[in-house]
Amino acid sequence: MIEELHIKNYALINENIVNFQSGLNILTGETGAGKSVLIGALGLILGNKGDSSVIRTGEDEADITAVFNISTAEIRLWLIEHDLDDGDDQLLIRRTLKRTGRGKVYIQGRPFPLAELSDLGRLLVDIHGQHDQQSLFHIEQHRRFLDRSGKHEEHVQEISEIFNRLKELNEKITNLRTSLNDKESELEILTFSLEEISMADIHEEEEEELRSRLKRIDQAEEFFTLVDSFLNLMPESRGGAMGALREAGQALEGLSGLDEENKKLSERFSNAFYEMEDIIESIVSLNNDISFDPQDKERLEDRLAEIKKIFRKYGPSYQDMQRYCEDSRRKLEELSGGENNLVEWEIQKSSLEEQLIRKALELSEKRKIRGSKLEVEIRDLLKTLGMASAEFSVQISRRTGDNGQYICGITGLDRVEFLFSANKGEPLKSLRHIASGGEISRIMLAIKTALSGTDHIPVLVFDEIDSGIGGEVGNSIGKHMKNLAQYNQILCITHLASIAVYADNHIKVEKTDDNDRTNTSLYPLKDESKVLEIARMLSGNSEGDASIRHAEVLLRTAAG
């Protein structure tokens, strides 16, 4: 449900926060007060087009924010799919319009594309009264309405699952047939590929090991040069560093007998000399162990080139090559027993097609039975809503091909459309050809009443529903909306007191002149102020005793 609507600098509204309640929310006010402004602002939140003309004069930006309670699994799923689910039960949508551009959309405080906002809007609110906003004009919705009213959703889900399994099987059959047509060449290609990979005998870390060994070989020449230079400076012979150090050590050893301090220095020098001798021996040993063979380098490079070639064809990595092998072996198995697989899959296909058509025919019969009952229910409801001569029909037609065979889709065989005629003798027409907003609103009220408790859209908005009707019919409409408000939150704009008295939350829309500016305000009515507003709606005068008494009677009667 919608909990709050914050409107700023929109049309004649300076700034207003409107709080809604569960149940029936009624909006009333003088003609021209701006009741439709609220519907326009809500429409922007739901993804309708907007332009700078609705920005309040003298302002650069209109800002509208709505707070919804997440009340259905469909809304939660949509938020999860768009990475917008915060785990909270509140949904915050904000929309801005700027004179300099198209403005922005925010959901849960995060920027969101305007083009996708309407998808969420259709899950939140169903507006009736403006022709470009109604689910009744989308024929696919008619099928959904019918199936919900008949509680056919599980049956539809079964058909959907069979349909998808059949679709997957058809794709497998098509692919296998294509493969079998080129069976010989494909078998040859797959066999050659597997043999080539097997002959290469590549192990998982081999490429990296080869690169490491080649790097050491490339560094060997520089290593030999540096070691040779080092060893040439270190020989024991005269002129070599080690010989000079040995003589210096002997001289220092002679000093060690003179005092204790010289002895310590001599010992430190000896230790350093022995450490140096050990380093030289280690370098000599390392020099003897490393060999540089140009042929060895060439062999390693050839092996690395072979691995790169295999990876280019079947990689680009060892893991990719392994997956290619697995896929190729599976394809070989399928091709080797391809004809047998094809026969088996064709049998499965025939069985699934039979199941699909059988389930779809069963559902089609259920739809016809429920459709006939729904026609009667809607016609009876329309009579109580001031449309005694109206005709309503649920047209169900099965899809067939040119050969007369049934064509079954993901929801079954049927195309469902609601047809309507307001007057006797007039032909039934598609609902999109109905001109009156009041008529379409009452049809939707009748349908939603028939679907009480099964509707997945939590908020219903009715505008123009009282167009061309009197008080008695208005009373009937009010009762229907009051009953429907047990299942859906309802927002209704009305001029009729006989409807307004059923409000759980009565909101007054008023236009005032403040400081030489016209401003539209919306505020809730309670107790005496509610009585006065009903009295105004009855007689145009909220101060007459008779009007006030009449208003009090109507409110008590509506309260039961």
Helix (H/G/I), strand (E/B), else coil: 414 = strand
Please, are residues 186 and 192 in contact by the beta-carbon 8 Å criterion?
no
Does residue 298 share a domain with residue 266?
yes
**Which one of 306, 329, 352 terminates a domain?**
329
On whether residue 271 sits in a domain, the answer given is yes
Per-residue pLDDT, averaged over 355-381, amounts to 94
The answer for residues whose C-beta is within 8 angstroms of residue 442's C-beta and 6 or more apart is: 382, 385, 386, 387, 465, 477
Does residue 532 share a domain with residue 467?
no
Per-residue pLDDT, averaged over 19-24, amounts to 94
Question: What share of the chain has pLDDT > 70, as a percent?
Answer: 91
Q: Please give the C-alpha separations between residue 138 and each of 149, 431, 439, 476, in angstroms, as whole numbers.
A: 17, 9, 17, 27
Average pLDDT of the chain is: 85
pLDDT in tens, 385-412: 888 888 999 999 988 877 878 889 999 9
Per-residue pLDDT, averaged over 360-381, amounts to 93
More confident residue, 538 or 180: 538
146: which 2 tokens? 């019918």
Nearest to 477 by CA among 506, 448, 509, 434: 448
Q: Give the pLDDT confidence score for residue 132 in this predicted structure.
A: 45
pLDDT in tens, 224-276: 777 777 777 666 655 567 777 777 777 777 777 677 777 788 888 888 888 88
Please, are residues 18 and 1 in contact by the beta-carbon 8 Å criterion?
no
Does residue 421 share a domain with residue 342?
yes
Q: What CATH number is attached to the domain comprising 121?
A: 3.40.50.300
Please, are residues 165 and 352 in contact by the beta-carbon 8 Å criterion?
yes
The yes-or-no verdict on residue 439 having pLDDT over 70 is yes
On whether residue 445 sits in a domain, the answer given is no
On whether residue 433 sits in a domain, the answer given is no
Lowest mean pLDDT among 1-10, 28-37, 48-57, 211-220: 211-220
Binned at pLDDT 50, 70 and 90, residue 210 comes out as: confident
pLDDT in tens, 440-476: 778 888 888 887 767 678 899 888 777 777 768 888 8
More confident residue, 485 or 218: 485
Per-residue pLDDT, averaged over 482-500, amounts to 91
Ramachandran angles phi, psi of 505, nearest 5°: -140, 110
Q: Give the pLDDT confidence score for residue 339 in this predicted structure.
A: 67
pLDDT in tens, 128-173: 764 444 667 778 888 988 998 888 989 999 999 999 999 999 998 8
Does residue 321 share a domain with residue 239?
yes
More confident residue, 196 or 226: 196
Q: Please give the C-alpha separations between residue 112 and each of 1, 52, 82, 99, in angstroms, as whole numbers.
A: 21, 20, 10, 20
Q: Which amino acid is at 557?
A: T
Residue found under tokens 């859209």: 457
Provide DSSP, 61-92: EEEEEEEEE--SHHHHHHHHHTT---S-SEEE
**Which one of 308, 329, 350 terminates a domain?**
329
Does residue 422 share a domain with residue 489?
no
On whether residue 187 sits in a domain, the answer given is no
On whether residue 201 sits in a domain, the answer given is no
Binned at pLDDT 50, 70 and 90, residue 33 comes out as: confident
Helix (H/G/I), strand (E/B), else coil: 127 = strand
pTM for the full predicted model:
0.64
Does residue 125 share a domain with residue 19?
yes
Does residue 102 share a domain with residue 3?
yes
Ramachandran angles phi, psi of 512, nearest 5°: -130, 160
Please, are residues 80 and 44 in contact by the beta-carbon 8 Å criterion?
no
Q: Give the pLDDT confidence score for residue 156 in this predicted structure.
A: 92
* Terminal alpha carbon distance of the chain: 25
Does residue 218 share a domain with residue 308?
yes
Does residue 257 share a domain with residue 175?
no
Does residue 368 share a domain with residue 274?
no
Q: Which range of residues forms the domain containing residue 361?
A: 134-180+338-427
Q: In what order do the strands lie in the sheet with 505-514?
A: 125-128, 459-462, 489-493, 24-28, 505-514, 517-525
**Which one of 296, 329, 362 terminates a domain?**
329
The yes-or-no verdict on residue 503 having pLDDT over 90 is yes
Does residue 15 share a domain with residue 126?
yes
On whether residue 192 sits in a domain, the answer given is no
Q: Give the pLDDT confidence score for residue 131 in this predicted structure.
A: 46
Does residue 322 share a domain with residue 220?
yes
C-alpha–C-alpha distance, residues 180 and 186, integer Å: 9
On whether residue 448 sits in a domain, the answer given is no
C-alpha–C-alpha distance, residues 121 and 118, integer Å: 5
The yes-or-no verdict on residue 69 having pLDDT over 50 is yes
CA atoms within 13 A on the CB side of 143: 18
pLDDT in tens, 38-47: 888 999 999 9
Total of domains in the chain: 4
On whether residue 174 sits in a domain, the answer given is yes
Ramachandran angles phi, psi of 513, nearest 5°: -110, 115
Nearest to 242 by CA among 264, 271, 274: 274
pLDDT in tens, 5-16: 999 999 989 999
